[in-house]
Chains A and B, each alone.
Chain A
Amino acid sequence: MDELFQHFLNAVILGGTYALLGIGLTLIFGIMRVVNFTHGELYAFGAYCMYAFVMLFHVNFFLALVLAMSMGTVLGAAIELLLLNRLRGADIDTTMLVMIGAWIVMQNTEQFVWSGVALSISSPFPANPLVVGPLSVSWNRVYVFLIALGLIGTTYFVVNRTRLGKAMRATFQDRDTAALMGIRIGRIHTATFALGSGLAAAAGALLGPVFVVTPTMGDLAASKAFAIVILGGLGNITGATLGGFILAFVEEIGAGYISSGYRDAMGFLLIILILLMRPTGLFAQKERIG
């Protein structure tokens, strides 16, 4: 029974970071219709920023998170302005190819700058875990979970309660009408991509100290993020949040009680099953067509 509780605790903690990865990607896809292959690299970028600030420049650990997230936001805005802005109106295949190119360039730049050796970031948290009865969890992971929840909540607030969020939602519902109503679609796109990228970089900066930082760390994160987004319904923040927790639970319980070697397969098996029954994902939003 202790084992089951430990699995549940692990899944909840893991789910928070999965959700954070998912919402950034789902925003970008939902509002911009861009399949963002650089999402995983922005995650890695956040982790490397964290490494540079904490380990090389000895910046305060918590301030470094804010800086890494800001750098991710700036890089996201740069990608949008330099690449995607020019491709608006281009078909989805062209955009996808450009994004795949950007992904490869970013990953190889990381490899070139930091080499393939894994780097580790020291955290100010005590090495001994937080112990509750038979369960234990590291302080660092508790911190990651709480910050992730905070960021998800903030994103929720921005999208649902602010003027910018209203413009984003209007663009999502009907781009042309939104433009006719005076919303500057270009700015909304840049803001959305920057916000999504900032969230990915935050996830990387949070998880960098938990795991190790490597140039290929983004690949796994990106594949999970795509799975979560498809599971939750494209463009749906609630869907991505719940999708993140569902994926974490399936993986953790599947790995614990069925087979750990097929941990990643379990998640994708679930996605196939859900898509067979609900082809638009669990929580797809209705779109106005025409």
Chain B
Amino acid sequence: MRKFAGLVTTAAILAGGIITGVNAQETIKIGVTQPLTGAFAASGNYVAQGAKIAEDEINKAGGVLGKKIQLIIEDNKSNPTEAVSTVEKLITKDKVPVLIGAWSSTLTLAVMPKLEEYKVPMIVETSSSGKITTSGNPYIFRISPTSAMEAKSFQPLVPKMGIKKASFLYTNNDFGIGSANEYSNMLKANGVTIGAMETMDPKATDFSAQLAKIKASGSDSLFVTTAVEQLTLILKQAKEQQLNVRIISCGGSNSPDQLIEQAGDAANGSFHTAFFPPWFPEVTKNPEVSKRYMDEWKKRGHNVGGLTEGFRGFDGVYVAVAGIEAAGKAEPDAIRAALWGVTVKGIYGDIHFNKEGPAGKESGQNVPVVYLVTISNGKVTRTSF
């Protein structure tokens, strides 16, 4: 039954291909592995929806190298073992020359050895753990910011916000640990005292113990790194326990619109890092692209709260296609080499890859802009001081 959803998606894509009169042999396949079910299902589906918008746009404009593109989207079930099998299936059975994935840092880290084994490049659209680009995997091209970049762009705000003592609450996986390390180091270097460092299981729903401890630590700010579901609960429970601290969420998977809807009053006064601000798309580097994506997203009736995730898939497909075009052929090694030279006008900004990691085995890393937004009176505004 879980597989059924994947089959339906694949069948729908195939059917779409038939209706537009495209012969399967004439398409260039792009593999996508996302968590469509399980703990990260909401985000994974948004990324897949964004990717499909890009697929349709590109095909409408004539495709690439004279052929249509075809996304093959596999469900990694929010599970590292499943993520590895999806990548193996996409590479060996579907023979995709380039991949996009795998949402969470833990899932991406799990599939990385397979990329080296089969020598197929992958565009990393969401994951933020530093390890992904520093471990020496030359098949990784990351368009999302690392936790270190995020922490660095936050630095000027530390004195402006008057942060003196900060606590952390983060999910106990590569994403949360990476983010908490980078932020706490940055804060310490800026003279901030660190209070409690609390972790939580990615599936946990009750944070009363952690919040009681954070309250007792006497911190003025709390940095939270997790996805939107847990963040909603943390905001609600922090209010219940009268935790009067400034809550700042890191990692960009915080969907402020969904927080306003689900945490209500408890979301007011919280700060969130965002990698795409759909509340003021005019500030992005390529506002016309942002607007086009947003219009199509709304036209398709997708959840507006998912705009902050969907663009990752949208940009991912454009970058993969730019790689194929620059390579001149749909072959993994040619695409890997060509990705170093591409610049894509995307929602993440003008996407291009800098070298990161050990010499000779560098991974590609884009440098996107990081925004900080505030929720006040049930509305999202750009943080300004």
Contact = CB atoms under 8 A, between A and B. Distances in A.
Interface of A: 2-3, 6-7, 10, 14, 104-105, 108-109, 111-112, 115-120, 122, 127, 129, 131, 136-138, 141, 211-212, 214-217, 219-220, 251-253, 255-256, 259-261, 263-264
A219 B203 CA distance: 9
A256 B229 contact: no
A52 to B, nearest CB: 17
A220 B205 contact: yes
Classify the interface of chain B: helix, strand, loop or mixed: helix
B283 interface: no
Interface in B59-82: none
A7 B229 CA distance: 23
A108 B241 contact: no
A140 to B, nearest CB: 8
A143 B262 CA distance: 20
Given A118-B232, A261-B172, 13 more contacts: A108-B4, A117-B41, A117-B258, A118-B42, A120-B232, A120-B263, A129-B240, A129-B241, A217-B205, A251-B209, A261-B199, A263-B201, A264-B201
Interface string B200-224: 1101111011101101100000000
A30 B306 CA distance: 45
B204 A264 contact: yes
A130 to B, nearest CB: 9
Contacts of B45: 115-117
Contacts of A217: 205
Contact of A127 (B36, B204, B208, B266): B266
Contacts of A122: 264
A6 B201 contact: no
A260 B209 contact: yes
A212 B213 contact: no
Contacts of A138: 240
16 contacts: A3-B213, A6-B212, A6-B215, A6-B241, A105-B1, A109-B1, A115-B41, A115-B45, A116-B38, A116-B45, A118-B229, A129-B240, A219-B203, A255-B209, A256-B212, A260-B213
Contacts of B306: 117
B212 A111 contact: no
Given A116-B36, A127-B239, A3 B215 contact: yes
B242 A111 contact: no
Contact of B205 (A105, A108, A211, A215): A211
Interface of B: 1-2, 4-5, 36-39, 41-42, 44-45, 172, 198-201, 203-206, 208-210, 212-213, 215-216, 228-229, 232-233, 239-242, 258, 261-266, 303, 305-306
B1 A263 contact: no
Given A108-B5, A212-B232, A256 B303 contact: no
A215 to B, nearest CB: 7
Nearest to A221: B205
B204 A137 contact: no
Which of the listed residues B4, B200, B212, B215 has the most CB atoms from chain A within 10 Å of its own CB?
B212
B265 A127 contact: yes
B2 A263 contact: no
Contacts of A112: 5
Nearest to A116: B41
A216 B266 CA distance: 24
Contacts of A3: 212-213, 215-216
Given A2-B216, A216-B38, A259-B199, A136 B240 contact: yes
B233 A7 contact: no
A131 B244 CA distance: 14
A138 B236 CA distance: 10
